Amino acid sequence: MPKREKDRASGTGRNDRDKKSGAGAFSWGKSNGGDDNKASPMSPNDPNNAGGAFSLALEKRSKHNYFAKADLTNPLFYEGVLCAFRARKGKATGGWVATTVANTASFDSDGSPLKNTAFDRDFRNACPVSDSFSNVEGFLAKEAIGQTGTVIVAAENENCTTRKFIEAAVATGANVLDVGVLTKSQLAHVVEAYNQSPWTEKSDFDRVVSEASEVVMMANPMAKKGNADKKAEATVKVGMSDEEKEKKRAADDEKIYKAAKWSASRLDKSSYLVYDDDEALGKQAPAIDGLVYHKGEKVSYAGAKFTVLGFWGKFAKGDYSTLNSWSHLERKYRSQGVQFLGVSRDRKEADVVKFVGRLGTFMRELGERGITLGATFPLAFDPETKVGEEFRKLSALMSLAVGMAYVIDSNGKILWREQFSRGAAPADQLESQLDLLVAGKDVAYVNGNEPDEDDEDDDDGEGTVQGIKITAAGADY
């Protein structure tokens, strides 16, 4: 499972964000059966709140008409109940919580969808969304529902709130195994593999996830295998040619770029803008002859019409996806006279060597759905960070952040610079500038000059902080 920091109160491996989003064996339920989102109080002797207000809510839902009408009208809660009841027949099931609730999916023990199965139809008939659940007992008897089961839960991305789904599964009597962020096909494969041979070690789980990426999807990859599918079954896992691998990497990089671009679109662009009077624009770029290359051939400004020189670092794990985004852009512009170069901000050459050696490794904990480390362009070590420092001084920056990209012409003149963060540029101007350049036009200066700083005195008292809005990720649910 994903590595977690130790919980301050209980040492269970769940942090506060996990508990608020519903991850782990218990979620912070409601203090009553109402519709508010108030967290249940915690007791010093019961840090997981297993015997507190949440436990009382579970007892009410589990023993008195099973569930209230309002609960089953929530689609996530319904899917959690469905998965848990199915799991109580003896084999683990899976729940994949999507950003768009309508795309949330439940999986049977063999990795096939539960939706529209006989079990799903019977449960819908037995538990209509009404004030009466008189057929529940008959449904449990007919399906031979046991006392407990296991539901494996995954999310489409880091921003998905799984709390309602997990709460429902626990309330129905199932154990919950939260495996973090996976794709839908990966979860289906994980559920099937778990039922074939249950794993308890993270290494086994990582192996199962990596195997899922080798599956060549058929027209209906989740369909149950009947006699007609036996012949096709042998072709599900096959080797991929170099051309197929490159197509897959290109598609993955494009998805990473688009997802990061969408996330960045919600940020305040003003702090990322490069103004028309920026210190670096029009100046001669620092020489790059002293770089030490650990991937790809040596690059010179004269080697292409335009060079996009971007800074990265092994230490900046959260920005690894920026290399994937630059790879997507490199593929887009490579035939139009644009080359890319990645210059490391790491101070130790051994860190660059280690990172380059890990290219091609899938890292499930990064990005929205996990990323495969990759770069389609040369990567170089910058001894004593000399090149980076020269770019920093040239740009009059207090610090040169990982993700900064410069556009330089064949004569070494800086035409543009833009800051990327976690795979995308919040200002979102690099592509439009490159489109102009490859079309034979000049870059467009449309941001105006940098505004003067506000020098007005603070009349509200020295040492006070006012007007600060804090938004906590995952808090709005």
Over residues 132-183, the pLDDT tens digits come to 445 556 666 777 777 778 999 998 887 778 888 888 888 777 888 888 888 8
In a domain, 145, yes or no: yes
Radius of gyration of the CA atoms of the chain, in A? 27
Among 171, 204, 230, the domain boundary falls at 230
Higher pLDDT among residues 59 and 308, named by residue: 308
Both 361 and 334 in one domain: the answer is yes
For residue 143, what pLDDT is reported?
A: 75
Please report which residue ranges of 236-365 form alpha helices under DSSP H: 242-264, 320-333, 349-357
Quote the pLDDT of residue 226. 40
Residue 344 maps to which CATH number? 3.40.30.10
Higher pLDDT, 376 or 17: 376
**363: CB partners within 8 A, 6+ apart:** 320, 370, 371, 372, 373
Are 159 and 62 within one domain? Answer: yes
Considering the domain architecture, whether residues 169 and 225 belong to the same structural domain is answered as yes
Q: How far is Cα 377 from Cα 328, in angstroms, rounded to an integer?
A: 10
pTM: 0.50
φ, ψ for residue 84, nearest 5 deg: -65, -45
- The more confidently predicted of residues 178 and 130 is 178
Across the chain, mean pLDDT equals: 75
224 and 367 assigned to the same domain: no
* Domain interval for residue 387: 244-438
The domain tally of the chain equals 2
How far from 215 is each of 98, 239, 240, 367, CA to CA, in Å?
21, 9, 10, 21
1-15, 66-80, 251-265, 393-407, range with the lowest pLDDT: 1-15
Residue 387 above 70 pLDDT? yes
Contacts of 336 (CB under 8 A, 6+ apart): 305, 438
Does some domain include residue 327? yes
How far is 429 from 275, CA to CA, in rounded Å?
12
Secondary structure in 3-state letters for 140-209: HHHHCCCCCEEEEEEECCCCCCCHHHHHHHHHCCEEEEEEEECCHHHHHHHHHHHHHCCCCCHHHHHHHH
Of 178, 199, 230, the residue that ends a domain is: 230
pLDDT of residue 474: 34
How far apart, in whole angstroms, are the C-alpha atoms of residue 443 and residue 307?
14
Alpha-carbon distance 310 to 382, whole Å? Answer: 12
